[in-house]
Structure 1
Amino acid sequence: MLPDADPALSLEWSTLQDNHERYERGLMWLKLLSVTLSAIALISGSAAHWMAFLVAVLWAQEAILRTFQARLSVRILRIEALVREGADTTAACQLHSEWEAARGSTAGLIAEYARNALRPTVAFPHAVLVLALGGMSLLD
């Protein structure tokens, strides 16, 4: 809870912060799945091209989920600013309204996913694994 904050804003902040951290834990499991699939392919020496494809799909999924997480971050920062300004309950519960007002076109949304996919903390380990598996499949 945020000290000296409107209760509705404080509850929204707590909920969004908890969801933000849940995304983080879930995304770490997704990375672990990528590593596990890659290890299976590298150890077994087979189906590397299919595993590379699966890792690329997991990479894209992480980028999409990171984009959702980033939206939560934007709203969390907005709530913190509202608390500093002494806003009241009418400012609470505006996550989707604010996102919809700022949302771009479909192409803009895809570009946002791509930007998130290329962030170093998202690309690693997926890019390395795709390259390793791709190289392995070329050697077969």
Structure 2
Amino acid sequence: MNALHQEWLALQAQHERYEALALAVKLAAFAAVVLVPDNALALALLALLWLQEAVLKTFQGRLGERLLAVEAGLKSGQAVAAMQLHSDWLATRPRGLGLAGQYLRSALRPTVALPYPLLMLLALWG
């Protein structure tokens, strides 16, 4: 098995792990609504968990970008340097507001954002 195959297997496993972690964050958000008696604290925890999930999904997206590059190289047979996830990301890494913008875009994706406003309404009515 060559290095690109090994990289793909490792990246795919981590990509799926981030999906599981995002689900765990959603479950923690639900638990916060149910278990935290103070509405203000529950809302603060929900906001924090929403941001945490956005960060996880941003990281997952970076892995996905590298997975696509590796897959394109494997499919075409063209040379793609293996094990370059961080070097490639560092070369295009946004700074300051650009990085914050990535996290915000992740937070507003429907698959991330959907439960949080609903849970916040539940926390307010609780």
TM-score range, shorter chain: over 0.9
* TM-aligned CA deviation for residue 85 of structure 1: 2.3
**Unpaired runs of 5+ in structure 2?**
none
Q: Aligned pair 1:82/2:73, yes or no?
A: yes
1:3 counterpart residue number: none
* TM-aligned CA deviation for residue 116 of structure 1: 0.3
- Separation in 1, partners of 2:114, 2:122: 13
How many residues are treated as equivalent by the alignment?
126
Calculate the TM-score normalised by the size of structure 1.
0.84
Moved over 6 A (4+): none
Calculate the TM-score normalised by the size of structure 2.
0.92
Q: Supply the RMSD in Å over aligned alpha carbons.
A: 1.5
1:1-140 correspondence to structure 2 within 5 Å? 7-41=2-36, 46-88=37-79, 91-133=81-123, 135-136=124-125
Q: Which has the larger radius of gyration?
A: 1
**Unpaired runs of 5+ in structure 1?**
1-5
- Separation in 2, partners of 1:30, 1:94: 29
Q: Matched residues, percent identical?
A: 43
- Separation in 2, partners of 1:51, 1:28: 18
* TM-aligned CA deviation for residue 73 of structure 1: 0.1
* Paired residue type of 1:136: W
- Separation in 2, partners of 1:87, 1:8: 14
